[in-house]
Amino acid sequence: MRFSLKQAVFGIAVIVVAAVAFVNAAQSGGTATVRNKLTIIAPASPGGGWDGFAREAQLVLREDGIVNNVQVVNVPGAGGTIGLSQLVQMHGRDDVLMVTGGVMIGAISVGNTPESIDDVTPVARLADDYAALVVPADSDIETFEEFVEAWRDDPTGVSIAGGSLGGIDHLVTGMLAREIGIDPEQANYLAYSGGGETLSALLSHTTTAGMAGYNEFAGQIESGTLRLLAVSAPEPIDGIDAPTFIQGGVDVQMANWRGFVAPPGLTEPQVDELRAIIDELHGSPGWADVVARNAWTDNYMVGDEFSGFLDDEQALTDEIVEELGL
């Protein structure tokens, strides 16, 4: 079979183009992949704060065309440390992010997990949320001051439902107990793996009160199913009609920050690409709307600043856990 000069030139051109494409793909590594498909691990059950945070990010990443396909996977249990353990095993995977925050730092402090936040790759801190203390709408307790009085009168009889042991909900409960003269170890705290379970416990009157991120209760507060007593913010929050614990006479405040980490073993270009994706998310109008709608506080932090914050946060949480005997 004979080939013309024109056919030969065309064949050489095809080979050259293919070779260039292969080199470009090799140089880009997983960069093209993560822009096409990203998995976000929410290390908690559906319906909780981490799940909500992950799904809000998923929606904005998709709608703004930052990532074509974003999947959220729930890995509940042990204050997020089961998800942390799985992430640590995904060494070198640049197409996975996991939601993290103060809850996980606390769970690491009180647990015996072999993994720590040092075993993963910090990406960014995005927003802060605050814990909310609520009771069922038909509860006899109508104010924060009444709750404090009831708790002092019956420390073990008043039960508080919240997230995993060592999480922000647990730490805030322990701090409140200490400040009003109750031994934190005597506090009747019932831990659940997600906001949905905490809500069920409240609505079934299994517990006296509930402690969780404000947005985990927001829908039921607005519908009148739950009564909001106070929040753990340092000062009143716009859009939230409730006093702070400080305004109620108890000097306790704590933020539940949320952000993203990635698996260990990533190259610098892979980390840069993940941070670029989250930077685009943070800078988008869609994310600004999410922050405003959820009454979060924007507290963006990346790079060495975020890594240093994680070290400081773990040290502070370890100190609080030891001090409270939790």
The residue extents of the domains of the chain are 31-128+257-324, 130-231
Per-residue confidence band for 215, with pLDDT thresholds at 50, 70 and 90: confident
DSSP 8-state assignment for residue 146: H
Average pLDDT, the chain: 88
Please tell me the predicted confidence (pLDDT) of residue 8: 38
**Helix or strand or coil: residue 301?**
strand
DSSP string, 98-132: EEEEHHHHHHHHHS--S--GGGSEEEEEEEEEEEE
**Residues 249/77, Cβ–Cβ less than 8 Å:** no
Residue-wise pLDDT tens digits, 63-94: 999 999 999 999 998 889 999 999 999 999 99
- Model confidence at 48, pLDDT cuts 50, 70, 90, reads confident
Of 21-30, 42-51, 115-124, 284-293, minimum mean pLDDT range: 21-30
In this structure, are residues 134 and 226 in contact, taking their beta carbons and an 8 Å threshold? yes
pTM (two decimals): 0.78
Q: For residue 192, what pLDDT is reported?
A: 86
The DSSP output letter for 265 is S
pLDDT tens per residue, range 159-172: 999 988 888 899 99
Domains 31-128+257-324 and 130-231 agree in fold: yes
Q: What CA–CA distance (Å, rounded) separates 286 from 26? A: 33
Q: Please tell me the class of the 31-128+257-324 domain.
A: alpha beta
Report whether pLDDT(31) > 60: no
Homologous superfamily assigned to 130-231: Periplasmic binding protein-like II (3.40.190.10)
Separation of CA 16 from chain center: 47
Task: Tell how far CA 193 is from the center of its chain.
Answer: 13
Residues 6+ away with beta carbon under 8 Å from 101: 49, 50, 80, 168, 256, 257, 258, 259
Cβ proximity of 284 and 107 under 8 Å: no
The reported pLDDT for the residue numbered 32 is 53
pLDDT at 98 exceeding the cut of 80? yes
Q: DSSP 3-state assignment of 170?
A: helix
The DSSP 8-state label assigned to residue 165 in this structure reads T
> pLDDT digits over 244-284, tens only?
999 999 999 998 899 999 999 999 999 999 999 999 999 99
